[in-house]
Amino acid sequence: MASLTDLTLTEAQTGLASGDFSSKELTEAHITAIEGARDLNAFVIETPERAIEDAERSDKRRASGEVGGIEGLPIAIKDLFCTKGVQSTAASKMLEGFVPPYESTVTAQMVEAGMVMLGKTNLDEFAMGSSNETSYFGPVVNPWKRNSDDQPLVPGGSSGGSAAAVAARLCLAATGTDTGGSIRQPASFCGIVGMKPTYGRCSRWGIVAFASSLDQAGPMTRTVRDSALLLQSMVGFDPKDTTSADVPVPDFQAALGQDIKGLKIGIPSEYRLDGTDPEILGLWDQGIKWLEEAGAETVEVSLPRTKYALPVYYIIAPAEASSNLARYDGMRYGLRVEGDTLTDVYENTRGEGFGAEVRRRILMGTYVLSAGYYDAYYIKAQKVRKLIADEFSVAFEQVDAILTPTVPSAAFAHGEKSDDLLAMYLNDVLTVPASLAGLPGISVPAGLSSDGLPLGLQLITKAFDEETLFRVADVIEQSAKFTGRPDMKA
């Protein structure tokens, strides 16, 4: 039934509770939807049998009175999370066929909470990218199209598969990971809600590491409430992850529906970049009005080093990645390409196993860490990072949340930015600063461009204040009344 896939996560949860339908029916509807939308290439692997098993088990549990936080809800998992017994590839030839004998902490919690796993979604290889064009398994197609032409568009990245799947109603929700904007930016491009929690909220154990000091798992959903609902099952202290925060977990949904009278919202002038689509700037102004109408006070704040965030990111992330990806060497798992000597095997395996963008970032990372350059690049970047984080801290002494656009443009066409590296990297210019500072951020679809494409607004709050984040995001969502749907005809 088409309408089952149109429900929000929250509505489906209510429906299951009321017995309007079973998890099995809900799941079957989504399996059918997935089958019919394969041209989006949103999935690396579909797991319909596993999903039906999960659903049947869930219906039985529900009958005996056991109901977890996301009980019986069909959800898709970004193929960066290691899922026990199910292929986990990081969208790379390097891990094609890799079946982990372990489950990531986040997905283990979700399984415990009763989720139904529909499959593993496509992404930029090893989470490196902003358009989901670097996947070994082919690019993902944004279910949205411009009014003016028929060109396939990118869904954003790296969590492009998850974003497309959620937007196209192939799943009720999906998990993503965000390192420099990889949840928020595709969410904006696909007209959905994408949220990155505070660094340390979600465990990184079992998630293929890209940049250790930046990676965070997060929910990708169609509404803000759905986001809070899913996040609840994803977060939690994990003693197996030294960077996991041992902090109390609030009831995120309780933050919704609270008014924002008297809250101060910061508007950073430095996020008004040259070259930003004027429609997006207009939407930002609109967002400011919505919040003021809801009783908040908007305040100009200054984050002077914002423009340096992107170069800082493109030193630190590749540096950490170059080391994190050293384990992919053909010795213990994954691809092995033969050679005459050990060195040949290393070089052949990694030469063939990694795509061009991954190779580029590993080389960049190796370069900035190498002797003679370490101080000038890596140390310098970590210092500037400290300054950027401090700027946010100062701003948050004045305001409760910061409102910005999510991306300087709407979704672009496949291949449009592939030749211009820096233009591609600029997709993340507005999302990266919060990542560097470890702060929680959310993108809420707020309007359509004149060409019919979704545009998102971003909110950022201080560390561990996801409650305020959801509270204000809810207001944006209520005010925007975004009802856009992609036309899913390929």
Partner 1 sequence: MSVDKSTVARIAQLARIKVPEEDLDALADELSKIVGWVEQLDEVDTEGVAPMASTAEGTVLRQRDDVVTDGDCRDDVLSNAPESEKGYFVVPKVIE
Partner 2 sequence: MSEKNLIKGQTGDWEVVIGLEVHAQVIAEAKLFSGADTSFGAEPNEQVSLVDAAMPGMLPVINKKALEQAVRTGLGIKAQINRFSVFDRKNYFYPDLPQGYQISQFSDPIVGKGEIVIDMEDGESRTVGITRIHLEQDAGKSVHDMDPISTYVDLNRSGVPLMEIVSEPDLRSADEAAAYLTKLRAILRYLGTCDGNMEQGSMRCDANVSVRKPGDDLGTRCEIKNVNSIRFAAQAIEYEARRQIEVIEGGGTIDQETRLFDANKGVTRSMRSKEEAHDYRYFPDPDLLPVNLSEEFVEEIRASLPELPDEKKDRFVSEFGLSAYDADVLVAEKAIAEYFEEAAKGQDAKTVANWVTSDLFGYLNKEGLEISESPVSAKQLGALVGLISDSTISGRIARDVFAEMCASGKDPGDIVEEKGLKQVSDSGELEGIVDEVIAKGTAQVEQYKSGNEKIIGWFVGQVMQATKGQANPQMVNEILRKKLTD
* Best CA proximity match to 115, nearest among 40, 30, 189: 30
Phi and psi at residue 479, to the nearest 5°: -75, -40
Closest C-alpha among 190, 180, 124, 189 to residue 157: 124
Shortest Cβ 120–partner 1 spacing (Å): 16
Nearest Cα to Cα of residue 357 among 208, 186, 135, 90: 135
Tokens of 273: 């970049």
CB-CB contact of 334 with 94 (8 Å): yes
Beta-carbon contacts of 424 under 8 Å, excluding residues fewer than 6 positions away, are: 129, 130, 131, 417, 418
CA 7 – CA 377 distance, rounded (Å): 48
Binding partner selected for residue 55 from partner 2, partner 1, none, CB under the kind-specific 5 to 8 Å limit: none
| Min dist. Cβ of residue 438 to partner 2 (A) | 12
Q: Are 230 and 75 in contact (CB under 8 A)?
A: yes
Task: Given the residues 78, 93, 145, 462, select the one marked as catalytic.
Answer: 78
Q: Are 476 and 459 contacting, i.e. CB atoms less than 8 angstroms apart?
A: yes
Task: State yes or no: is 78 an active-site residue.
Answer: yes
If one asks whether residue 351 binds partner 2 (CB under 8 A), the answer comes out as no
> For binding to partner 1 (CB under 8 A), which residues are involved?
98-102, 199-200, 213-214, 239, 242-243, 245-246, 305, 308, 311-312, 314-315, 322, 326, 329-336, 338-339, 341-348, 350-352, 354, 359-360, 362-364, 366-367, 370, 377, 379-387, 389, 421-422, 436-438
Q: Where are the alpha helices (DSSP H) in 150-269?
A: 160-167, 184-190, 224-234
To partner 1, the closest distance from the beta carbon of 424 in angstroms equals 11
Q: Is 135 labeled as catalytic in the residue annotation?
A: no
- Could you say which of 130, 182, 188, 409 is catalytic? 182
Total number of residues binding partner 2 (CB under 8 A)? 42
- Quick note: the x/- pattern for partner 2 over 186-205, rule CB under 8 A, is ------------------xx
Q: State which of positions 74-93 bind partner 2 (CB under 8 A).
A: 82, 88, 90
**Minimum distance between the CB of residue 396 and partner 1, rounded to whole angstroms?**
15
Q: Could you tell which of partner 2, partner 1, none binds residue 50, using a CB distance below 5 to 8 A set by kind?
A: none
Q: Has 158 been annotated as catalytic?
A: yes
Residues 458-477 that bind partner 2 (CB under 8 A): none
383 binds partner 2 (CB under 8 A): no
H helix count then E strand count, the chain: 16, 11
Distance CA 58, CA 187 (A): 29
Rounded Cα–Cα distance for residues 349 and 336 (Å): 5
Residue 364, contacted partner among partner 1, partner 2, none, CB below 5-8 A by kind: partner 1
Q: How far is the CB of 420 from partner 2 (least distance, A)?
A: 29
Element (DSSP H or E) covering residue 297: strand 297-301
Tokens of 191: 């007209």
* Catalytic residue (choose from 130, 158, 188, 443): 158
265 - beta bridge partners? 298, 401
383 touches, from partner 2, partner 1, none (C-beta below 5 to 8 Å by class): partner 1
Contacting residues toward partner 2, per CB under 8 A: 82, 88, 90, 95, 98, 100-102, 104, 204-209, 211-213, 239-243, 319-320, 322-323, 325-327, 329, 331-333, 342, 346, 366, 369-371, 374, 378
Q: Catalytic residue positions?
A: 78, 158, 182
